[in-house]
Amino acid sequence: MKIQAAVLHEVGGPFVVETLDLEPPRAGEVLVEVAAAGVCHSDWHLITGATRHELPVVAGHEGAGIVAAVGPGVTRVRPGDHVALNWAPNCGACFYCLHDRPSLCTTYIGPLWAGTMMDGTTRLSRQGKPVYHFSALACFATHTVVPEPCCVPIPAAPLTVAALIGCAVTTGVGAVFNTAQVRPGSSVAVFGAGGVGLSILMAARLAGASQVIAVDRVAAKRDMALSFGATSFLVAGPETPAALRALTEGRGADYVFEAVGHPAVQEQCLDAARPGGLVVLVGISPMGSSTNLPGAILTRQEKTVTGSYYGSANSGRDFPLYLDLYTRGLLDLDRLITRTYGLGEINQAYADMLAGANARGVIVLT
């Protein structure tokens, strides 16, 4: 079938909206009519080259839509189902899945990073030449073919919201609930007030944190961060750790979340954590970058640094849970969507993201 998709042909961009060929789903695959796709920094990393990937590629890894057709052997979904798309599919049988770490599943890693389906081929092409899929989803398109485990059936909810559940919300809320397991009455600092950072703020308050400090380079995000649960806001700068300690009786925060993906910010987060505190690295750093975390400080002050990949999520469990929290009014996800765009406006959407204009922009396709 013919579809419209935003294609990246070379590092430096831009995205080009053009007509591609999409093959029907094969065994274990699902054709999804994409309804909405979030504008996430991880896709921008393809343009900058911070994330290296086969080109040309259809980006988009935060999406939701309606199942249009299924391939042989698919049993979890059927045509007409509304699904949130999971960019970290899991097999349920490997070492990590069996140890309740499905976000680390090894079965899909090779094809996912190669930009192909499990059989090593793409379903996307242009003039007979392959076009690659980013993060198994390639949802900056009117339709996409994905592995069955990428589809998580959802109850009735706006598909724009379900798209955010597919990445920003699960990454942020999961970092609080699953990775850090924030305790009531604790102090939390969040570096970065984008879609993921704001999700962390909401989850921290929901977990019972008594003090939630937001940090961002864009001063205009103050009101937004406070409205999503922050009790204080700091403009990012060299003195941020000292200012944060001043807000926490000189100690630093119990939990510090980094939602930017920048080594220098990660180093600041270690300085902002109290002795015995936990630093959770949530943002994706450029490939090949490194962070200087002094071992003497880690040892003498017993600080812990951990990563949180996709919120340490179990998508089949967590997607419905977060949608339930949204339905009950405990996660205000509608306000995360500052602006919607058409597919042809995708480059403007990323310009707005880089300017800090939105909590989250969403590409609406149907």
Nearest to 111 by CA among 81, 149, 140, 83: 149
* Distance of alpha carbon 281 from alpha carbon 259, whole angstroms: 7
Name the residues annotated as catalytic.
40, 42, 45, 61, 167
Q: What are the two backbone dihedrals, phi and then psi, of residue 51, each rounded to the nearest 5 degrees? A: -110, 120
Distances from the Cα of 193 to the Cαs of 112, 229, 259, 327, in angstroms? Answer: 28, 11, 8, 23
- How many Cα atoms occupy the beta-carbon half-sphere of 60 within 13 Å? 38
Do the bridges between strand 15-22 and strand 124-126 make them parallel or antiparallel, or are there none, so unpaired?
A: antiparallel
* Distance of alpha carbon 295 from alpha carbon 199, whole angstroms: 30
* Distance of alpha carbon 125 from alpha carbon 19, whole angstroms: 10
* Distance of alpha carbon 67 from alpha carbon 271, whole angstroms: 47
351 Cβ partners below 8 Å, 6+ apart? none
